[in-house]
Structure 1
């Protein structure tokens, strides 16, 4: 019987020890949240798809800097893979338990505003208007009926990379890249090295790196469906473009194109690195692959060539925004974090450490002269900054969100020889207009 006298004592000891766990370092998430609540802090859950060994430490350093900059808000980072993040976000919104801030696709920001999936930021911008901090094209993409539903974070553009040694070998001035479509053709003819029906070196193929739609916007500076929901597919400039692109396709032939495309799927064995491809349209971040896999490559960069002199070096880009999902518990605190995330300080840090284009103009221009870039890095980044005001986005159409599924097959019909460019554009125009008429 005496052994039962130890039970109350043991229970008391266990309760004391378990109670102490809440104060030990490394307790559970709930215990940490309780501790933060006791400190009077608001905890924000920030979702991103940046989980790589390069980007994750950078975004978490920005979060850490924000957390240390004030004592009212604590942001924690939740990584969700690219293929899952937005599906899970929409499910969380529907369940009434969304994250506090999420990184989302810029081109669908207005659509999410229309669908009431993101918080309207107008009340915050009335008191703290930061709209002028960002490139106009990026800012406009966040608007639905005049109100912003997300703040631009990072972006990109397309530029022309070219091999200076190949230029010299072909008798071209390596400091004078092609400026027009005609010059692109002329340069490619000189740069091509052909062996029978195959090529040892390909001068240029316009649809390595970008697709038909980018060249069409380069030609007439108009999206397929404009801001007034008018369909602008079958236009004279777009017809010229499709005929020009088909000329390239016929020049090299499907077998050569597919063979070279297969080589380009390998980052390390990209034919541009070996000099077997003389010119290539790519994002400025392509430079990091050159830096890592072909550090001795003698290359230059230029704006995307224009259709004809005076037409404009229009390029295309995308990007991401920081949003407050609809129904977020602490939108005021979320706004404070988003302001920091898109400030010059945080944006410049992201730009330099990632060699990535950012939405904040001042940060972008400052990053271009960073001492952390070598001469080639500065050359590429400076050109990217120059290209940003010339870069168009393709916001998701509110009247036909999936219209490109109707358009792209028509382009393929041309390259496969099934339709003329005239018929393909006529059919694409009719298909999209029919889709919009159903709404």
Structure 2
């Protein structure tokens, strides 16, 4: 009898201990692939090993627009993740999804977690902050557009490999020399709407859309303005380069990145987050530089626009689970974590402290060009350069791709394409305004 009591007590004790030690799971849906997927998994592993109360479970749910659509559908059926990674162009849509999310500012305050929005780079924090000053989502993988070039190809073409072209006329001239030297793809671009329209606008301090590109007062009433004379001039110049074989269109999104990494394309305009892939897989000497600008454009260069994504906390979860979300965000905010992530991936160090930590470590000196993204972003911003935050912008980006592809194929002019983008895009913006009460 005594033996049975001892055995029973042991079972009860083991069960109780197991229940006490069971970590609360935090589901994190993301869109990171390849080397960045490895980074996300390592972050979760590092957090999970740092404490035993919570376990973050990262899950790849497709590219950005796919994961956002899946999460909204999951929310409606009561199965949403705790954390959702949303790319920057989905911000206005998430802000308009009433009841689907909980502001990160509230989650951190409720949990008593250490969180200081003022410690973040202003251009980053401001993008994810509501007009009332409350931060809505957690800045995670913020990036911006930079200029990559193949130094080996430059040398073979007789170009100065240590001096990247600074202006667009210089870029087009370099492309011609590269073409003459036998390079089949002198120049390409990834994320053409982001690099050649959005960042192009903020870098040149020209209006992309009304109401401060959708970020000002009554931002939901914004309409597109990307068919200005400067925009038309630029797209027509790229069209001429495409016709001559100096510019080669390689596809939508980040698809063209592979063409640069493989050595096929000698110049590209891409996300700073491509750095991890380039550093790991490029078999040639490369350079990273500021985006080029038109020297006759007043106010250029200004600053580039934010890209990447932030982490949103989905609604409908238990208080204990939100404490885990806050704990994870607190972990991600640590300067040493931010600095290590920046140095590994090329994403921005979203706090000034992590930027200074990276600078002090000598990383930028050892890896020339890795500070370009930060320096482009920490400049003083204007109403035209704060960023682009528009409703239905995922669909508008698709329209940009469709219309620009017609230009590269020689089927329409730059002006026709930009006018079409404005007309079709404004219809979607008007629909967004109506859906949000028209006020």
TM-score w.r.t. structure 2 length?
A: 0.75
Structure 1: tracts of 5 or more residues without a match = 1-8, 69-73, 195-199
Aligned pair partner of 1:280 in 268, 285, 289: 268
The CA deviation at 1:430 is 2.1
Please tell me whether residue 209 in structure 1 is matched to residue 187 in structure 2: no
Is residue 406–residue 428 contact of structure 1 (8 Å, CA) maintained in 2? yes
The CA deviation at 1:379 is 1.5
Please tell me whether residue 75 in structure 1 is matched to residue 63 in structure 2: no
Please tell me whether residue 180 in structure 1 is matched to residue 167 in structure 2: yes
**Aligned-partner Cα distance in 1 for 2:392–2:248:** 35
Report 1:76-115 matches (<5 A).
76-83=55-62, 86-87=68-69, 89-96=71-78, 98-115=80-97
Please tell me whether residue 244 in structure 1 is matched to residue 237 in structure 2: yes
Deviates most, 350-359 or 150-159: 350-359
**Aligned-partner Cα distance in 2 for 1:400–1:109:** 9
Please tell me whether residue 389 in structure 1 is matched to residue 378 in structure 2: yes
Structure 2: tracts of 5 or more residues without a match = 435-439
Relative distance call for 1:408 and 1:92 in structure 2 (3 A) is closer
Aligned pair partner of 2:314 in 319, 325, 332: 325
**Aligned-partner Cα distance in 1 for 2:238–2:90:** 28
The CA deviation at 1:294 is 4.0
| SS class of match (2:28) | strand
**Aligned-partner Cα distance in 2 for 1:107–1:299:** 29
**Aligned-partner Cα distance in 1 for 2:13–2:46:** 26
Is residue 165–residue 174 contact of structure 2 (8 Å, CA) maintained in 1? yes
The CA deviation at 1:211 is 1.2
The count of residues paired between Structure 1 and Structure 2 equals: 398
**Aligned-partner Cα distance in 2 for 1:152–1:380:** 23
Relative distance call for 1:247 and 1:122 in structure 2 (3 A) is same
| SS class of match (1:381) | coil
Residue matched to 1:3: none
Please tell me whether residue 345 in structure 1 is matched to residue 349 in structure 2: no
TM-score w.r.t. structure 1 length?
A: 0.75
| SS class of match (1:159) | strand
Alignment RMSD, CA only? 3.9
Higher-Rg member (1/2): 1
The CA deviation at 1:299 is 2.5
**Aligned-partner Cα distance in 2 for 1:104–1:31:** 38
| SS class of match (1:216) | helix
Structure 1, residues 382-424: CA drift from partner, whole Å, max 9, x if none?
2232233369786552366522333432222323333222233
Is residue 105–residue 321 contact of structure 1 (8 Å, CA) maintained in 2? yes
**Aligned-partner Cα distance in 1 for 2:413–2:143:** 33
Relative distance call for 1:19 and 1:117 in structure 2 (3 A) is farther
Residue matched to 2:411: 418
Structure 1, residues 280-337: CA drift from partner, whole Å, max 9, x if none?
3233444444443345x23322111112265116545422223321122123553343
